[in-house]
Amino acid sequence: MTSIDFYVLSDGPENALELLACKLSEKALKAGNQIFIQTSDESQTGLLSELLWSHKPASFLPHELATELQQESSATSSPICIGHKEAPEQCEQLLINLSQKIPPAYARFERVLELVPPQQEARAALRENYGHYKDRGYPIKTHEISL
């Protein structure tokens, strides 16, 4: 059964969720996980792609865009895939959700990480997500975090 983790940010800069996604991706990559990062739109996909290349001065996190995979009809060769549409079928280990909506194929993943912004007004949708997972009996953990 899919396990759900909510990472609740207490503070941070404007792009705090994207920076947290980079941090969690780096940790998951070191643990040997394949990662799909669900973004809300094309703009956030682009921002996240840039951050994965530059968030640490001495390293980058190898990744590819899901739109490129769908155009090429090929399997992912990178451990991190980013997209604002449904995850490619070959991605099913770790889903990092930045979209604040329930991703269509979340149940096929081993783990889902829901990233919660520090702004109270932006948390309503994620409260609904929490209720959705809880009502369906998924194991949920919550982590308070700051950048």
- Which pLDDT does position 76 carry in this prediction? 55
- Which pLDDT does position 71 carry in this prediction? 44
The ranges of the chain with pLDDT < 50 are 70-73
Cβ burial, residue 143 (10 Å; 0-12/13-18/19+)? exposed
Query: Which CATH number fits the domain that encloses residue 83?
Result: 3.40.50.10110
DSSP 20: H
Is residue 87 within 8 Å of 36, Cβ to Cβ? yes
Query: What does the alpha-carbon distance between residue 42 and residue 130 come to, in Å, rounded to a whole number?
Result: 25
pLDDT digits (tens, 9 = 90+) for 30-71: 999 999 999 999 999 999 999 998 877 667 788 889 865 544
Q: Token pair of 65, please?
A: 């865009």
Is residue 110 within 8 Å of 93, Cβ to Cβ? yes
Q: Which domain holds residue 73?
A: 3-145
What is the number of structural domains in the chain? 1
Which residues are within 8 A (CB) of 77 and not within 5 positions of it... i.e. 6 or more apart?
Answer: 64
Query: What does the alpha-carbon distance between residue 29 and residue 43 come to, in Å, rounded to a whole number?
Result: 24
Task: Taking each helix axis as running N to C, give the angle between helix 16-30 and helix 42-54, from 0 to 180 degrees, rounded to the nearest 10.
Answer: 60
Cβ burial, residue 105 (10 Å; 0-12/13-18/19+)? middle
Give me the residues paired with residue 142 across strands.
6
Q: What are the two backbone dihedrals, phi and then psi, of residue 87, each rounded to the nearest 5 degrees? A: -65, 140
Query: What does the alpha-carbon distance between residue 103 and residue 61 come to, in Å, rounded to a whole number?
Result: 23
